[in-house]
Amino acid sequence: MSEFIKTLCPYCGVGCGLEVSPPAQQGKATHRDSQGNPIWRVRGDKAHPSSQGMVCVKGATIAESLDKNRLHYPMVRDSLDREFRRVSWDEAFDTIVNRLQTVRFTQGPEAICMYGSGQFQTEDYYTAQKLMKGCLGSNNFDANSRLCMSSAVAGYIQSFGSDGPPCCYEDLELTDCAFLIGTNTAECHPIVFNRLEKYHRKNRKVKMIVVDPRHTPTAEAADLHLAIRPGTDIDLLNGIAHLLMRWGHIDTMFIEDCTSNFSAYAEVIRHYPPEVVARQCGISIENLETAARYWGESQRVLSLWSMGVNQSSEGTAKVRTIINLHLMTGQIGKPGSGPFSLTGQPNAMGGREAGGLAHLLPGYRLVKNDQHRAEVEDVWKIKRGQISANPGLTAWDMITGLENGSVGLLWIAATNPAVSMPDLERTKKALLRSPFTIYQDAYYPTETAAYAHVLLPAAQWGEKTGVMTNSERTVTLCQAFRQPPREAKADWEIFAEVGRRLGFVKEFSFANSAEVYAEFTQLTRGRPCDMTGISHEQLKTQGPTQWPHPKDEGDKGDQGAKLLPHPPHLPHSKRLYTDLRFHTPDGRARFGAYYSKGLAEPPDPDYPFVLTNGRLYGHWHTQTRTGRIEKIRSMHPQPFIEIHPRDAAQLGISENQLVEVRSRRGQANFPAKVTKAIAPGTVFVPMHWGALWADNAEANALTHPESCPDSLQPELKACAVQLIPVAHKMVVKNYQLQSSQW
């Protein structure tokens, strides 16, 4: 037997295959971290189709975080000003179940909320949906994906009739033109970027366009960087469409045969001539024309996007406007082309499959759809009508629900909202008002633990077996290779035990996560994300598998046809929509006709700068893991604010000087990084430093919760701020070396 256990990197949505081996192997030197502690050895899995053996620094160092500052035991306290006391699981479960029942029967199931995460495995997600939406009758399950992928989900559903990124990573090496918009792929999806970069370097005819207000490492590699003003993406995209139309670079046959609503779209883009668009976006007409020429003259165009597009008050419109360009030029359903949203978290895709947002149900179904609810109720063997027809509260609705007293119980798992939610001062005040918060995490301390009444220790990556789906729809089995520390338990086991103690014994009689997965895949039968042919056993023997993957190609047509208006696309095909039939009632993809609206909070004389924010190569979100890894800490020792030299000179700010940044909602301090990588009038801060890791350097102290009306995703990427140079110094904190007392 091989000494290596195959799994998946638990960080980003690229989904790189990893192989791990134990710290001590016979006859071999023990692998150790920088403090000399033995750690598991991690290397890229060459057999994994998505990553082909490659890993970035995060995947390579993941094992170093496994034993640092873990939460080991359930802890309870009566109120937030008390100390936690250690309790048995039995007592913790009793406390939770009593509270759930009280809230359920006094305030009603809609007062119960769960806020989960794209870092759950699919089995965790699925069990949580069954508990909340099926058994408790509350659709108030939302995930941090609301802050991340919900605009992409809404955009795909509105344009194609269903969610599901249609492309695959092979397209990176088959395209003539890669159009990267609102994505810093080099730092955030490094292995996707490596594949694209290598191919781009070898093939000089292949074009790479990057649209980002910052000159990122991604932009550095591009043939054309369009440093548009934040929030002007729709202007740019409509402006490109205008030129394509003017130059006749459109696929009229495709438009006529496979789409609807083109005339409304054509009317909109008429209003986006190059002079207007260039001025609005802050770019030259020449660069705009070059971008349109690259699009129009390429046989195959692949667009890639992430948070610069999704995290916007017009996020869904932005996504649909990208898709419009593909529809207008027939760039979909063929190799090297298509609109490809890059998923952020390792299993945000699995979350979507399992129905892990407040308006979704498992199998790419919608809460509002009567037939969808009935289908799920039947598989769950619960009575018809048990699932509520009303979409539940979104992440931000849960915060406002705490403010107005309508939320009686909040259960948070695998996310750290006391850092990652917008408008943190308001978020934290709301969390302080929560009558009862359960917080289920792998680490202690995290910023959110300060707001919990109950702490539940979660088993994390490597300590539970389950499944994750990456950006290209490839499903990988993540095998457990070590025991959870002390009393930590897998998330799905915690949800299932609560379910049984609430009386749903049959519903949660799973013996292991393979059984959970098997039940879940039944709910994908005949759906666009059909995975009835995938199981733990099949993944173990056949390796990572892309969906759609129905059980037997023969039965694709029968039950599937009953549930779907159109037969799904070729089973086992790498791409969706190769037959150019979409999941809409008439089988046509829909153009979305959108005028640009711009930022929800544009700069003004009082708050003259646009603050944007995002990620750095080494760090992962709120640093629960990466902050505890020495190599990564030294790559990114402190937060900073990028300011253009012209703005810095005007304000008298010098390199490294501390700058106080104020928005209408809060303030934070960052040392200045004076750089031409950012446009004048815009500033950038990383999102990674919460209250545990630096003194007052939280990006979200400044941001606002204004959201896209369709996806309800907040505009985390832009708010208006003022800058004031100050004299004192930044304090960076270090939590990594304390050993966990619990």
Indicate which single residue of 133, 200, 214, 588 sits in contact with ligand MGD (rule: CB under 6 A). Answer: 214
Size of the residue set binding ligand MGD (CB under 6 A): 58
Judged by beta carbon distances under 5 to 8 A according to partner kind, the member of ligand SF4, ligand MGD, Mo ion, none in contact with residue 61 is none
Rounded to whole angstroms, what are the CA distances from 238 to 177, 224, 305, 493, 545? 18, 18, 16, 49, 37
Site string for ligand SF4, 191-210 (x = CB under 6 A): x-------------------
Q: Is 588 helix (H, G, I), strand (E, B) or coil?
A: coil
- Looking only at the bridges linking them, the beta strands covering 641-643 and 41-44 are unpaired
Judged by beta carbon distances under 5 to 8 A according to partner kind, the member of ligand MGD, Mo ion, ligand SF4, none in contact with residue 624 is ligand MGD
Peptide bond into 445 cis (omega under 30): yes
Size of the residue set binding ligand SF4 (CB under 6 A): 13
Q: Per CB under 6 A, which region of 303-311, 379-387, 477-485, 503-511 contacts ligand MGD?
A: 303-311
Q: Per CB under 6 A, which region of 16-24, 76-84, 562-570, 621-629 contacts ligand MGD?
A: 621-629
Find out whether 288 and 278 touch, Cβ atoms under 8 Å.
Answer: yes
Site string for Mo ion, 136-175 (x = CB under 5 A): ------------x---------------------------
Q: d(Cα 177, Cα 174) in Å, to the nearest integer?
A: 9
Q: d(Cα 592, Cα 450) in Å, to the nearest integer?
A: 44
Residue for token digits 């873990």? 70
Q: d(Cα 742, Cα 70) in Å, to the nearest integer?
A: 8
Residues 389-448 close enough to bind ligand MGD by CB under 6 A: 413-417, 419-420, 440-443, 446
Q: Is 443 helix (H, G, I), strand (E, B) or coil?
A: strand
- 12 scored as a contact of ligand SF4 (CB under 6 A): yes
Residue 327 CB partners (closer than 8 Å, separation 6+): 159, 254, 255, 258, 259, 262, 589, 591
Our CA dihedral for 205, 222, 314, 234, rounded to 10 degrees, sits at -60
> In whole angstroms, how close is the CB of 716 to ligand MGD at the nearest point?
4
> In whole angstroms, how close is the CB of 12 to ligand SF4 at the nearest point?
3
> In whole angstroms, how close is the CB of 658 to ligand MGD at the nearest point?
20
Find out whether 6 and 19 touch, Cβ atoms under 8 Å.
Answer: yes
- 571 scored as a contact of Mo ion (CB under 5 A): no
Site string for ligand SF4, 162-191 (x = CB under 6 A): ----------------------------xx
Indicate which single residue of 11, 547, 591, 693 sits in contact with ligand SF4 (rule: CB under 6 A). Answer: 11
Q: Which residue type, as a one-letter code, is found at position 527?
A: R
> In whole angstroms, how close is the CB of 348 to Mo ion at the nearest point?
7
> In whole angstroms, how close is the CB of 542 to ligand MGD at the nearest point?
25
Residue for token digits 């999704």? 310
344/362 with CB nearer Mo ion: 344
Judged by beta carbon distances under 5 to 8 A according to partner kind, the member of ligand SF4, Mo ion, ligand MGD, none in contact with residue 117 is ligand MGD
Find out whether 583 and 162 touch, Cβ atoms under 8 Å.
Answer: yes
> In whole angstroms, how close is the CB of 8 to ligand SF4 at the nearest point?
7
Find out whether 639 and 623 touch, Cβ atoms under 8 Å.
Answer: no
Instruction: Give the bridge partners for 265, in sequence order.
Output: none
Judged by beta carbon distances under 5 to 8 A according to partner kind, the member of Mo ion, ligand MGD, ligand SF4, none in contact with residue 491 is ligand MGD
- 430 scored as a contact of Mo ion (CB under 5 A): no
- Looking only at the bridges linking them, the beta strands covering 437-441 and 409-413 are parallel
> In whole angstroms, how close is the CB of 13 to ligand SF4 at the nearest point?
7
Q: d(Cα 65, Cα 454) in Å, to the nearest integer?
A: 24
Indicate which single residue of 5, 7, 15, 463 sits in contact with ligand SF4 (rule: CB under 6 A). Answer: 15
> In whole angstroms, how close is the CB of 388 to ligand MGD at the nearest point?
25
Of the candidates 366, 421, 375, the residue with the CA atom closest to the CA atom of residue 398:
421
Strand order in the sheet with 545-546: 466-469, 474-478, 545-546
| Count of other CB atoms within 10 angstroms of residue 381 | 9
> In whole angstroms, how close is the CB of 306 to Mo ion at the nearest point?
8
Of the candidates 117, 63, 44, 14, the residue with the CA atom closest to the CA atom of residue 482:
63
- 478 scored as a contact of ligand SF4 (CB under 6 A): no
Q: What single-letter DSSP state applies at residue 134?
A: I
Residues that bind ligand SF4 (CB under 6 A): 9, 11-12, 14-16, 51, 55-56, 58-59, 190-191
Residues that bind ligand MGD (CB under 6 A): 12, 117, 119, 144, 147-148, 181-184, 187-188, 211-214, 216, 230-231, 233, 306-308, 311, 344-345, 413-417, 419-420, 440-443, 446, 458, 460, 491, 612-615, 617, 619-622, 624, 687, 699-700, 703, 716-718
